[in-house]
Amino acid sequence: MSSFLEEHAAQVRQAADRIRPHVRRTPCLTTDLDSGLRLKPECFQVTGSFKVRGAFNAILSLAAQQPRPAGVIAVSSGNHAQAVALAAASVGLPALVLIPEDANPAKVAATRALGAEVIQQGITFANREERMREEMAARGLTLVHPFDDWNVIHGQGTAALELLADAPDLEVIATPVGGGGLLSGTAISAKHHNPATRVVGVEPAAADDAYRSWKAGSIQTLAAAPTTLADGVRTTSIGARTFEVMFANCLVDEIVTVTEEEIAAAVRVAWNRLHLALEPTGALPLAAYLSGKLPKGRTGLILSGGNANLETVATLLRR
């Protein structure tokens, strides 16, 4: 086993100890879809998504530094925003979050309710990074990146650590992939547990930058923010650190893509058959499973969140 994997697996275990008082240990569920299938529903997590794992690990680490940061800043479509807001409030740090104007209103309202300052007016997917750098410089804030940060990656890896403690014989683990933080952390935990475990990332066909990067062996960037039901993975590229984990160190075995109709079908199955209130992003691994795109074997799906736009879900359920 490589020293890279050993080092990062140790950091995931440390993250699990650090964040334990602040997050939920979400269950490992069985399902009548398949007796060998296991579900890790992060829709039951604090703030409704896995993002609190990485945010708490990063912000607790920052808060322990001397001198403490003046505050933290993040850009997000919603789930990372809520996670940063809660984690920062828990340690008494101010938080500023830049959220695009077209984001899910419920996620924006929740971020404000958790105590963060939100800037949304004039923020677009295209300009949010530039506006974030301006605010960082003006206010002296510290960035908590949504995926390309080792503390965030290690925190996200705690979901798979829990899943494998509950279901140690899994042969396949699938997660959504946007920037790659959850998939990278999952790959570290899974491959350290058993190098033979196949780790698969799932993304919309309309947002296939991770798939292209896997095939090319280098980071590929989409020309514009993709349009997809899965608004949590509307990134245009993965990060340098997540590329290092997933592809440079070959810890991810495969990236598969799913269509918008396959995502919609998975949302309907989640709500109607599994009784899980998943958002479309959280249903991505289920979409890949239902459409037969995952490798065969005992399979675990990390269902990343449940902060759905209810109007969107209502439309999908009426189809």
Q: What is the pLDDT of residue 104?
A: 82
Q: Are the CB atoms for 242 and 148 separated by under 8 Å? A: yes
User: Mean pLDDT, the chain, as a whole number?
Assistant: 96
| Secondary structure in 3-state letters for 84-110 | HHHHHHHHCCCEEEECCCCCCHHHHHH
Decide if 51 is catalytic.
yes
Contact assessment for residue 259 and residue 130, using Cβ atoms and an 8 Å cutoff: no
* Best CA proximity match to 234, nearest among 81, 141, 117, 126: 126
Q: Which value, to the nearest 10 degrees, does the dihedral of the CA atoms of residues 218, 223, 227, 229 take?
A: 10
Confidence of residue 173 (pLDDT cuts 50, 70, 90): very high
In this model, does residue 1 exceed pLDDT 80?
no
- Whole-angstrom Cα Rg for the chain: 18
Task: State how beta strands 29-31 and 34-41 pair.
Answer: antiparallel
The greatest distance separating any two alpha carbons of the chain, rounded to the nearest whole angstrom, comes to: 55
Identify the pLDDT of residue 106.
84
Q: Read off the pLDDT of each residue in 66-83 and give the average, rounded to a whole number.
A: 93
Q: Is 122 helix (H, G, I), strand (E, B) or coil?
A: coil
Percent of the chain with pLDDT over 90: 91
Tell me the domains of the chain and their CATH numbers. 3-49+149-318 (3.40.50.1100), 52-143 (3.40.50.1100)
Q: What is the pLDDT of residues 257-284, one digit of tens each?
A: 999 999 999 999 999 999 999 999 999 9
Q: Is the pLDDT of residue 152 over 80?
A: yes
**pLDDT bracket for residue 80 (50, 70, 90):** very high
In this prediction, residue 220 carries a pLDDT of 98
Q: Judging by DSSP bridges, how do beta strands 72-75 and 142-143 pair with one another? A: parallel
For the segment 215-240, what is each residue's pLDDT rounded down to a tens digit? Answer: 999 999 999 889 999 999 989 999 99
Three-point CA angle 287, 288, 290, nearest 5°:
65
Residue type, 14: Q
Letter string b/e over residues 175-210, b meaning 16 or more CB atoms within 10 A of that residue's CB = bbbbbbbbbbbbbbbbbbbeeebbbbbbbbebbbbb
Among residues 77, 189, 237, 304, the one annotated as catalytic is 304
More confident residue, 106 or 39: 39
pLDDT category at 289 given cuts 50, 70, 90 is very high
Where does residue 278 rank: exposed (0-12), middle (13-18), buried (19+ CB within 10 A)? buried
Q: What is the pLDDT of residue 156?
A: 98
Look up residue 224 and give its two tokens.
Answer: 């514009």
In this prediction, residue 223 carries a pLDDT of 92
Cα–Cα distance measured from residue 126 to residue 98, given in angstroms and rounded to the nearest whole number:
12
Task: Please give the pLDDT value at position 32.
Answer: 92
Instruction: Output the CA angle 252-244-182, nearest 5 degrees.
Output: 55
- For residue 105, pLDDT over 90 is answered with no
Q: Give the model's pLDDT for residue 225.
A: 86
End-to-end CA distance of the chain: 48
Q: Report whether 39 contacts 276 (CB < 8 A).
A: yes
**DSSP secondary structure letter of residue 49:** B
Q: Answer yes or no: is pLDDT of 158 > 90.
A: yes
Name the pLDDT band for 319 (thresholds 50, 70, 90). confident
pTM (global) more than 0.85: yes
**Residue from 40, 49, 51, 77 carrying the catalytic annotation:** 51
